[in-house]
Amino acid sequence: MNIVILGSGNAATHFAQQFQKRGHQIVQIYSKTKANANALAFALQSAATDDLSQLQPDADLYFIAVSDGAIPTLVSQLASGIKGIVVHCSGATDIAALSRFTNYGVIYPPQSLSKNKSVDFAEIPLCVEGNTTTNAQLLLRLARELSAQSLLCNSPQRMAIHLSAVIVNNFTNILYQMAYELLAENSLPFDLVRPIILETAEKVQNHIPFTVQTGPARRGDEDTIQKHLKFISNKPDLQQIYQLLTQQITKRK
């Protein structure tokens, strides 16, 4: 399959590398910054452009890997007569964003991707959608070349996956940071809680999360909860988060 990559950032880099490893031809890299297009194109021995009017007209796949906010503008600037399948990789962008094309779809990885960190795509379930059954099945076959865990899902399902990924990744990470700050204020290292972070992450690989829930809220230990709230009485934001999460635990008992 001949593929044009639209973007040169983290997702574009990883997907371009993975497609190439599976024997597909990356025929062109587009970026609005020519230097970035050149850098990725050089690594893949491909052509580079910063001019959308110069895109290869006969590629099989046009893979959009730019920020969510940049997708509408990029899509509006692409020729609507593209015959290949136009795909984006956003979790929060509806497939309808590509409806001006004849063939279009989505391949979304619920994973944080960084250029400088290798990723085992075999461990990432790719979420696939196509505007027709034929396109959906073609994209699913392509996705399964990268990951056997790939599956079909519609735009609302993909939004649920994206939101869930934000909760378990971005939200937990800011909680880690708040714990880091609390420990630092008390002259303690974050290393003290790294083992319990790993233990909990390992447990949920094989269990429904609430079945391994622990802590004072799960036990109904109101005395400890009040001690915690008193200890952070000078941190109203943390108090509010603590109370909201405690309520979520206790209501599931």
**102-132 per-position pLDDT tens digit:** 999 999 999 888 887 888 888 999 999 999 9
Residue 113: the pLDDT is: 86
Buried b vs exposed e over 37-52: b needs ≥16 C-beta within 10 Å?
bbbbbeebebbbbbee
Q: How much is the average pLDDT of 1-27?
A: 96
Taking the CA of residue 202 as centre, how many other CA atoms within 13 Å lie in the half-sphere pointing to its CB? 6
CB within 8 Å of 163: residues ≥ 6 apart? 92
Q: How far apart are CA 15 and CA 65, in angstroms?
A: 9
Q: How far apart are CA 197 and CA 176, in angstroms?
A: 9
Residue 253: the pLDDT is: 74
**149 has a pLDDT exceeding 80:** yes
**155 has a pLDDT exceeding 90:** yes
pLDDT by residue (tens digit) across 70-93? 999 999 999 988 999 999 999 999
